[in-house]
Chain A
Amino acid sequence: LAKTTQPISMDSYEGQEVNITCSHNNIATNDYITWYQQFPSQGPRFIIQGYKTKVTNEVASLFIPADRKSSTLSLPRVSLSDTAVYYCLVGLPDDYKLSFGAGTTVTVRA
């Protein structure tokens, strides 16, 4: 499994854009990059998944450079309710042994 490295924590203010970068230098050719969000005492929630270039949905954007050794989750105009832990996972879509790292704790302040 490709090892991932994320910042432990990030602070932001309401209305700002938050960008979380995940490093995965050993990503394999067929690996996908998936991001989850987790609120306290809840299960993680799927945010976005991508393989290369840029993926956008109603919640976030995922930017993946050509070498795929890193990826950046972008949360536009965050609100207080975006305060959560964000996890980056790298692996095959059918890799059923994916475990989560420590994630990035994002704190949004008023």
Chain B
Amino acid sequence: DAGVTQSPTHLIKTRGQHVTLRCSPISGHKSVSWYQQVLGQGPQFIFQYYEKEERGRGNFPDRFSARQFPNYSSELNVNALLLGDSALYLCASSQHLEQGQQFFGPGTRLTVL
């Protein structure tokens, strides 16, 4: 079975632009979570979606939004990009709502210039 996939792998944007990151969970997994990992730090929780509904949101501004589609794939959108948004964005899926055993994708490396 394929693992969690994310696209694109790398992305370069300039300040003020908008970005959309995509994630496909493991087949059969209904929960998708998004994390931001700044260099040298651990992943920080942004969103969790379960059965297409937002079930949790971390301490991130409204410039960050996400959605989950009927096939359980997900998009993370970030508007009005700032230099500080440069990070590795990780998507994780789990079969159920419980997050104890999540499966992470390889991430999307976003660089904001």
Q: Are A43 and B104 in contact (CB under 8 A)?
A: yes
Q: A43-B4, A43-B106, A43-B107 are in contact. Are A98 and B99 (CB under 8 A)?
A: yes
Map CB proximity to B onto A24-51 as digits: 1 under 8 Å, 0 otherwise.
0000000010100000011111100100
Count the A-B residue pairs with Cβ separation under 8 angstroms: how many? 70
How distant is the Cα of A90 from the Cα of B98 in the complex, in angstroms? 13
The number of residues on chain B lying at the interface, defined by a beta carbon within 8 Å of a beta carbon of chain A, is 31
**What is the interface of chain A, defined by CB distance below 8 A to chain B?**
32, 34, 41-46, 49, 85, 87, 91, 93-103
A-B interface, 6 closest residue pairs, ranked by CB to CB distance from nearest: A43-B104, A100-B42, A96-B56, A93-B98, A96-B48, A99-B45
**What is the interface of chain B, defined by CB distance below 8 A to chain A?**
4, 33, 35, 40-45, 48, 50, 55-58, 88, 90-92, 97-107, 109
